[in-house]
Amino acid sequence: MKTHKARHRLRTCLLLALTLNYTVLTMSVELADIKLGIALFDMILDFRRVPPVAGRLVNMTKEIRDVTRDKKLWRTFFISPANNVCFYGECSYYCSTEHALCGKPDQIEGSLAAFLPDLALAKRKTWRNPWRRSYHKRKKAEWEVDPDYCEEVKQTPPYDSGTRLLDIMDMTIFDFLMGNMDRHHYETFEKFGNETFIIHLDNGRGFGKHSHDELSILVPLTQCCRVRKSTHLRLQLLAKEEYKLSTLMAESLVRDKLTPILIQPHLNAMDRRLRQVLQVLSECVEKEGYSYVVEDDLQEEQEMDRAHTGPRQR
């Protein structure tokens, strides 16, 4: 009974790699391997704001259909003309028989994400990203036409105090390095108010076009010219040959059961984009001065450590 409940509580993120009988003709497809790459990438950057993810083959019949208590999900299962087990679930887009996820015959590549605390225990708040895109062909967002837009943001709660603006800068760097243009909202734990951190949940549009660097993603950084010292030092470290970002990513990804996960051009793109981020920060320091641009969060951590441990004994 306990095993059954444990298996039931696994949240299976089946954003599947394409199979012969399943093709989606869209500009960008969210895949299981992308989720894996993003979770590892988040840890290498030392942000640790993405729930841990692991990839594995899932038996759709035994591990999902036969154990789910969600009747709505159960009703979306069917057998395809190719005699494969398929389902399409419930969502706003692409959840239909035309866009079903199908196994071979019922084995499917999936990513398993760690559960966040239940919403009944830890409510989350959704925030609109100040640098959200307009998603309109002819209408531009305010940040696209006002070069001083960051000054307005800095005077608006919760960005006028605490670390939230620096969190947005971290998120901006994170998104640019993986090419994610779709950060329209973000979440925080409600209980801690503004004394909390951003949770990077919606990352499915990352690692798309490796040949294109979307510089508009970096606009928050170029407009605000602010960054944590810990983030700046980590980026500088990952730009060194002995700690090269692409190499660390490749070494981390090879351990997953679904390897290969990212192709070499995606890894090369990360190194290239990292150099661009460091160039932007270098220009910011030259223009505004190091003490304005780089927030020394490391000193605060050291002071907190000393407060917890007390004075050293001689």
Residues catalogued as catalytic = 182
The answer to whether 190 is annotated as binding is no
Question: How far is the C-alpha of 183 from the C-alpha of 57, rounded, in Å?
Answer: 29
Question: How far is the C-alpha of 70 from the C-alpha of 153, rounded, in Å?
Answer: 42
The answer to whether 187 is annotated as binding is yes
Question: How far is the C-alpha of 245 from the C-alpha of 268, rounded, in Å?
Answer: 9
Residue 292: both structure tokens together: 């304005």
Question: How far is the C-alpha of 126 from the C-alpha of 175, rounded, in Å?
Answer: 18
Among 205, 172, 219, 218, which residue's Cα sits nearest to residue 47?
Answer: 172
Question: How far is the C-alpha of 196 from the C-alpha of 49, rounded, in Å?
Answer: 11
The answer to whether 113 is annotated as binding is yes
Tokens 């729930």 map to which residue?
51
Tokens 């441990």 map to which residue?
309
Among 100, 110, 222, which residue's Cα sits nearest to residue 172?
Answer: 222
CB within 8 Å of 82: residues ≥ 6 apart: 21, 102
Answer left, alpha or beta for residue 97, where phi above 0 means left and psi between -120 and 50 means alpha. alpha
The answer to whether 269 is annotated as binding is no
Question: How far is the C-alpha of 40 from the C-alpha of 101, rounded, in Å?
Answer: 25
In the structure, how many helices (H) and strands (E) does the chain have?
A: 13, 10
The answer to whether 116 is annotated as binding is yes
**Is 166 within 8 Å of 228 (Cβ atoms)?**
yes
The answer to whether 288 is annotated as binding is no
**Residue 17 in 3-state DSSP?**
coil
- For the chain, the maximum distance between any two Cα atoms, rounded to a whole number of angstroms, is 77
Q: Annotated binding site: which residue ranges?
A: 113-116, 187, 202
Q: Annotated binding site for Mn(2+): which residue ranges?
A: 202
Q: Annotated binding site for ATP: which residue ranges?
A: 113-116, 187, 202
